[in-house]
Structure 1
């Protein structure tokens, strides 16, 4: 099974991946230069998108065991047909902001404009993700419970 774990910053995508990896699953966090790149859009703004050849190679080349891929990119929808499940991780805004403020492994969300962007994306992007997800997991639950739900999805 190939499972995409998506959601806003602070929902626990990276935390879930770490635990899934410890439990023996193949995992890929796409928030690295290996899997994603900055592109300049026609309006001059920039976007952090998946490297489409790399993601296609990963998904088309996977044949054994379960693969859990985490990310939230504007071009991820192009790859939905290659996944067995699209799982939205979600949590209330105050939980996201508290997690982002407390985390030490990712600097994103520490600046006021980044926190504002997280809140903006929560109201504009998350509904789009919800509409295309095959499952949603509220990550207020302990991470072990979240990971158990992800593993159960991969079994079906």
Structure 2
């Protein structure tokens, strides 16, 4: 019942990786969508909701992939089997956020400056606490393969 946190800067491909894993039969939760994050001030997980998600999942025998990058995610590190940092060069991130259609973050000059600053300041902190790192300049299917290898097959084991 591995629980894998997929984290990284905007544009690294967290949502894409989770979408591919979901197609393969894995349970995934992208905390950028839904009511998982309190966005008043610095984005942070609503700890009661994340705690309930993990507690409910701990009873299952299937892997869970959870994606997000928030200020309080380290609170939950002891409950994750893996913390995987997805990374790519700043230029790649900026190109991706400029052309994506699923999330408006990154389309303004202010957003882009924030991505640059976070990549320089926050990403090294994420790297220190990660159990694995995947360079997402790889094709998305290979990124999903590497994540899947950390969790084992989808569904309940026999």
Pick the aligned partner of 1:127 from 124, 128, 147. 124
Partner of 2:21: 20
Cα distance in structure 2, aligned partners of 1:155 and 1:132: 22
RMSD: 1.1
Maintained 8 Å contact 1:137/1:146: yes
Is structure 2 residue 14 aligned with structure 1 residue 48? no
Pick the aligned partner of 2:142 from 137, 141, 145. 145
TM-score, length-scaled by structure 2: 0.92
Is structure 2 residue 102 aligned with structure 1 residue 91? no
Partner of 2:75: 78
- What is the CA deviation profile of residues 36-91 of structure 1, one whole-angstrom value per residue up to 9, with x for unaligned ones? 1123xxxxxx1111010000111111122110000000000000001000000000
Structure 1: which 5+ runs fail to align?
A: 40-45
Tell me by how many angstroms 1:155 deviates: 2.5
Structure 2: which 5+ runs fail to align?
A: 154-158
Cα distance in structure 1, aligned partners of 2:141 and 2:106: 25
Runs of 4+ in 1 over 2 A off after TM superposition: none
**What is the SS of the residue equivalent to 1:47?**
coil
**What is the SS of the residue equivalent to 2:104?**
coil
Maintained 8 Å contact 1:60/1:82: no
